[in-house]
Structure 1
Amino acid sequence: MIGVGVDEIIADVGRNWYIYLSMPLVAAVIGYFTKIVAIEMMFRPLEFRGIPPYLGWQGIVPRRAARMASIVCDTMTEKLISPEEIFDRLDAERVAKEIEKPLLDNIETITRQVATQFQPGLWESVPESVRRIIIGRVQRQAPFIVEHMMAAIKDDIDGVFDLKDMIVTNLVKDKALLNRIFKEAGHKEFAFIRYSGIYFGAIIGLFQAVAWALLKLPIIMPIAGGLTGWFTDWLALKMIFNPKRPTRYFGLFEWQGLFLKRHKEVAAAYGDLIAKEIITPHNIIEAVLTGPMSDKLFVMVQKEVQAVLDSQAGLVKPLLVFAVGSTRYQEMKRIVSGQVMAALPETMAYMEDYAEDAMDIRNILVTKMQELTPEEFEEILRPAFSQDEWILITVGAVLGFAVGEIQSYAVVHFSV
C-alpha cells in the first residue's frame, strides 16, 4: 500500500529485516554478475555459436577481428612505428655475417643440384677443382648479394614490406592473440568494471530498499535490477575513459579516467606484448619473403643471383652455354634464383636474435606510446568497448531486470 506511516515502516523493517538487508546485497550481486557477463561477451566465444546468422553469439572483439586489428594497426603504424624505423636499425654487413654459414651451405647444394639437373654428365665430368672454383666464387659473392638486397629493401621498403598487412593478417588469423592485446592492456580496467558492479549495485540496492518500504510496489524490484545493470555498466565505462586529464570534483577529490591514468604502465605492457607476439623478427622476415609484396623481392634476388652467376662463371661459362644452350642457361639461372629464394626463410632465421636486439621494437613502442596525447592513447583500448557498446549495456539491464523479477517474487512471498 502506498503512503504508509513511519511506525508501520519501522515495524515492517523489524519484521522483515532480512529482506531489506538482502536488497543491497542482491543488487551488488546483480551488478557484479552483469559485469562479468558483459566482459565475457566482449571476448568469448572466439567463433560464432548458435544458429547462424542471428540466433547465437560471438565475442564482439573476435566477431569484428578485421576491424579491430585494423584499428590496432593504424594506431601502431601511424603513431608508434614505421617500416623505415624497423629496417634502418639493421646493419647489412652484420646481417650477411649472421646468415653466412647457412647461406654458403645452401649455395653449394643449389649449385650442384642445378648443374646436375641441366647437364647430368657435364658437371661430373668437370674436375672437382674447377667445380670448387665455381662454387667458391659464387659463395664469396653471397655476402655482397645480401648487402645489396638489404640496401634495395631499404631504398624501396614500402614496395617489399607491408607492415599493416603483416599486423592485420597475424591478428585476424589469431583471434585469441587479438583478445590478449585488449585484455592485457586493460586488465585493471576490466577488474574495476567487475567490482564497480558491487559498489554501485549496493548503493542502488539501498535506494531500492527505501522505495520498497515506502511504496510496497513489486515492480520496484525488476526496475531497480534493470537500472542497476544498465547504470553500473554505463558509469563504469565512463569512468575508465573520462575525464581525459585529472579533474577535481566538488573540491573534494580528483579523478582521471582509469585507463588514461595508467598511461606509462600500459605502454610498458603493451609494447612488450606487441614486440613478443606481433612485430617480431620472425614475422617481419616471413612477411618480406612470403607476403603480398614478395614478388618484388624475388625480382631483386633473381637479379642479384643471375648477375653473380654471369660474373663468376668465368672461363667455364662458354662451356656451360655450349653444353646446355643459351635458353637453358638462362632457365638455369632462374632456377638457381628461385631455389635461393626458397632457402631464404630457413637461412634468415639465423639472424633473428641479432634482429631482435638491433630493432629493439619494444623500446621504440614504449617510448612512442608514452609520448601519445590522452586522446591518442585512449584509442588503444577504446575500440574494444565502442563496438556494440550498447549491446553490453542492454544485456546488463535485461539481466538485472530478470534477477529483480525473481527478487520481487521472493519479497512478496516471504514477507511477514
Structure 2
Amino acid sequence: MGEYLRAVVADFARFWPVYCAIPVAAALIGYVTKLVAIRMMFRPLEFVGVKPFLGWQGIVPKRAARMAGIACDTMTRQLVRPRDVVNRLDPERIAKEIEKPLLAATEEIVRETAARYQPGLWESLPGRVQRLIVHRVQAEAPRMVATVLDAIKRDVDSVFDLKDMVVTSLVKDKELLNRIFLEAGRKEFRFISRSGLYFGAVIGVVQMVVWVLFKIPIIMPLFGLFIGWFTDWLALKMIFHPKRPVRYLGLFEWQGLFLRRRAEVSEAYAELIAREIITPRNVIEAVLRGPLSDKVVALIQRQVDAELAKQTSIAKPLVVLAVGSRRYQEMKVRITEQIMARLPDTMRYIEDYAEDAMDIRNVLVTKMRELDDEEFEGLLRPAFQQDEWILIATGALLGALFGELQVQLVLLLT
C-alpha cells in the first residue's frame, strides 16, 4: 500500500500541471453546459433543422401559446383585470383630447361615403346643405365617442378580452415573450451560469483525486455527466428554494434567489409589461379589432345610425329616394367601418393621457407585492418547469461528451 501511494505521489509530481487542469476543465464544463442550456431555452425563435426531430427550437418560443397563457393567467387573474385598465379612462377627457383630429376625420368620412354610394348626388347638393350635414355630424362626433366609451366601460368584460390581447401579443412576438422571462430572471440566469463554474470546480477536485488514484478512463465522462446534471439541478433548486430564508450549518443563510429579489423583479416586470404589452395603443387596438370587436361595432353602429337619422333629416328623404333604403343602410355600415379604421390613429392623440391615467406600471407593482410566494414564483417558474428535464439531460449529455474529450487529452499528455 505504501509503495502504491509513493507511486501515486510520484506520478502526481511529474504530471501535476495536467492533473491540476482537471478541476479547471470541470469548471468550464459546468459553465459551458449552463450557457448552452439557457441558450436552448430561448433560441432559436423558430425551428432550425429537419423536422420533426432533427433540429431544435427554443423551449419558450416552441411553447409560446402555453407559456404566454401561463404568464397571462398570473397577470390577468392576480395582477390586473380589464376593469383596472379601462375604468381609469375618462370618456369626456378622451373626447376632448381627440376633438380636432376627430372633426377632420368626420368630414372626410361623411364626404367620402356620400360620394361613394351616390355619385353625383352629393355633388349636386348645394354647398350650404353639404356643410350643414358635415357640421352637424361633427358637432355630435365627440359626444358620440364619449357615449361609446361609456357603454364600453359599463360592459367592459364583453368588449375587452385582456387575456386574448396579451396572449396574441406574446405569441405573435416570440422575442417579446423571451424578454419577459429574461427580464424577470436576468440575475437568476446569470447565477445559473456562474454556479456551473463554481460547482464544477469543486466536483472537479474530487474528479482529479479519483483519477490520480485509479486512472480508469470511464471516470472522466461519468464525472462530466454528473457535473452537467447535478449543477443544472442544483442551480434550478437554488433559484426557487427555499421560499423562506434558511440558515445552513449555522454559517450562511439562503433563500431562493428569485423570491429574494421580489422588489427588484416586480419593478422590472411591471416596467416591461406597461411599456410593451398593456399599452394604450394595444388596449385600443384590442377593443376595436379584437375578438369581441363586433360588440364595439354594434355600439358604434347604433350611435352612427342615431346621428345620421337626426343630423341628415333635411337631406335624408332625398338620399333614401336616390340610393334606396338598402344602399342607405350600406352607406351607414361604410361610415361605421371608416370610423373603426381611423379611430386607432385618432386615438394616438390620447396615448399620453391614457398612459398616465391607466398607470399600469404602478398597478402591477402594487399587486405583485400582494402575491404569495407560490403565485410570485409562477411569474418565472413556467419557463423552467415546462421542459426542465430537457435542460438537465442536455447538461448531462454535454458534460459526458466534454468528459470523454478530457480523458483523451489527459491520456495523451501523460
TM-score range, shorter chain: over 0.9
Q: Deviations over 1:77-110 (max 9, x none)?
A: 0010011110000000011011111111111112
Q: Look up the equivalent residue of 2:273 and give its one-letter code.
A: I
> Secondary structure in 2 aligned to 1:16?
helix
Distance in 1 separating the partners of 2:385 and 2:117: 62
The corresponding residue for 1:91 is: 90
Instruction: In structure 2, list runs of 5 or more residues that go unmatched.
Output: none
Which region of structure 1 is more displaced relative to structure 2, 216-225 or 182-191?
A: 216-225
The corresponding residue for 2:250 is: 251
Distance in 2 separating the partners of 1:4 and 1:74: 67
Change (3 A) 1:206 1:340: same
Match runs of 1:149-164 below 5 Å: 149-164=148-163
Change (3 A) 1:3 1:31: farther
Q: CA deviation at 1:138?
A: 1.1
> Secondary structure in 2 aligned to 1:50?
strand
Counterpart contact for 2:281–2:344, Cα < 8 Å: no
Q: Deviations over 1:333-378 (max 9, x none)?
A: 2322222222222222222121111111111111111221111111
Q: CA deviation at 1:323?
A: 3.7
Counterpart contact for 1:4–1:215, Cα < 8 Å: no
Whether 1:358 and 2:378 are equivalent positions in the alignment is no
Distance in 2 separating the partners of 1:410 and 1:120: 86
Match runs of 1:12-411 below 5 Å: 12-411=11-410
Distance in 2 separating the partners of 1:48 and 1:331: 46
Q: Deviations over 1:127-173 (max 9, x none)?
A: 32232222111111111111111111112212211111111111111
Change (3 A) 1:189 1:335: same
Matched residue count: 414
Q: Deviations over 1:197-221 (max 9, x none)?
A: 1110110011111112222222211
Q: Look up the equivalent residue of 1:98 and give its one-letter code.
A: E
> Secondary structure in 1 aligned to 2:281?
helix
Q: Deviations over 1:270-325 (max 9, x none)?
A: 11111111111111111111111111111111100110111122333333334434
The corresponding residue for 1:6 is: 5
TM-score (norm 1): 0.96
Distance in 1 separating the partners of 2:169 and 2:149: 24
Q: Look up the equivalent residue of 1:307 and give its one-letter code.
A: A
Distance in 1 separating the partners of 2:149 and 2:203: 64
Q: CA deviation at 1:411?
A: 2.2
> Secondary structure in 2 aligned to 1:314?
coil
Counterpart contact for 2:45–2:174, Cα < 8 Å: yes
Counterpart contact for 1:222–1:401, Cα < 8 Å: yes
Counterpart contact for 2:183–2:268, Cα < 8 Å: yes
Distance in 2 separating the partners of 1:230 and 1:379: 24
Q: Look up the equivalent residue of 2:180 and give its one-letter code.
A: I
Which region of structure 1 is more displaced relative to structure 2, 124-133 or 88-97?
A: 124-133
Counterpart contact for 1:4–1:214, Cα < 8 Å: no
> Secondary structure in 2 aligned to 1:5?
helix
Aligned alpha-carbon RMSD (Å): 1.6
Counterpart contact for 1:50–1:56, Cα < 8 Å: yes
Q: CA deviation at 1:3?
A: 9.3
Change (3 A) 1:110 1:208: same
Distance in 2 separating the partners of 1:286 and 1:346: 10
Q: Look up the equivalent residue of 1:283 and give its one-letter code.
A: N
Q: CA deviation at 1:390?
A: 0.9
Which region of structure 1 is more displaced relative to structure 2, 332-341 or 158-167?
A: 332-341
Counterpart contact for 2:85–2:360, Cα < 8 Å: yes
Q: CA deviation at 1:122?
A: 3.5
Q: CA deviation at 1:241?
A: 0.5
Distance in 1 separating the partners of 2:33 and 2:117: 71
Distance in 1 separating the partners of 2:340 and 2:413: 78
Q: CA deviation at 1:405?
A: 1.3
Instruction: In structure 1, list runs of 5 or more residues that go unmatched.
Output: none
Q: CA deviation at 1:4?
A: 6.6
